[in-house]
Amino acid sequence: MRSILLWLFMMLSCSVAHAAQSVGSPRLNYVLHCAGCHAMDGSGNSAPGIPNLRGSIGHFLKVEGGREYLAQVPGASQSPLSDQETADLLNWMLKEFSGKELPEYPKAYSADEVKQLRRRPPSDVPKRRTEVTDRLLREFGLDLRSYP
């Protein structure tokens, strides 16, 4: 009997812990892991060269390599967040900061996709950004090359 009660207690505490963890995320995860650099509203910080995510990141999904780039920048790929939390966070950030710029019917990031992308981050992040922003300029006339 005691072991059943113990088992029930453990199951209950696991589900409470799980519920508590999912409350507030991904917004909470953004505040805890990203806002220190990217600012609470995603507007970045021009002094240390942190790009503005607002009105911008949605465009990256329109060209080849942009989708991968967003998940592979060090801030996103090297955070302590799980693959699922990172996927949820990226999906949330895209809508929250750049909903208007998203392509029609954007495909949401999945945990599995984030897992694959984290395995092979680009060695030269600024170079990858330049390739993607050059494509945005060529294909859409959008100039996101320098940080706003």
| Token code pair at residue 119 | 């395995």
Is residue 126 within 8 Å of residue 134, measured between CB atoms? no
Q: For tokens 């992040």, what's the residue?
A: 125
Using CB under 6 A, which of the segments 9-17, 33-41, 103-111, 113-121 binds ligand HEC? 33-41
Closest listed residue to residue 28, CA positions, set 70, 107, 81, 95:
81
Q: For tokens 């996101």, what's the residue?
A: 144
Number of residues interacting with ligand HEC: please give it, by CB under 6 A. 21
Number of other residues whose CB lies within 10 A of the CB of residue 78:
11
In the list 36, 82, 127, 130, the residue contacting ligand HEC (rule: CB under 6 A) is: 36
76 counts as binding ligand HEC under rule CB under 6 A: yes
Is residue 57 within 8 Å of residue 66, measured between CB atoms? no
Map residues 117-136 to x or -, x wherever contact with ligand HEC holds by CB under 6 A: --------xx--x-------
102 counts as binding ligand HEC under rule CB under 6 A: no
58 counts as binding ligand HEC under rule CB under 6 A: no
Report the interface residues with ligand HEC, using CB under 6 A.
33-34, 36-38, 49-51, 53, 56-57, 70, 73-76, 79, 89, 125-126, 129
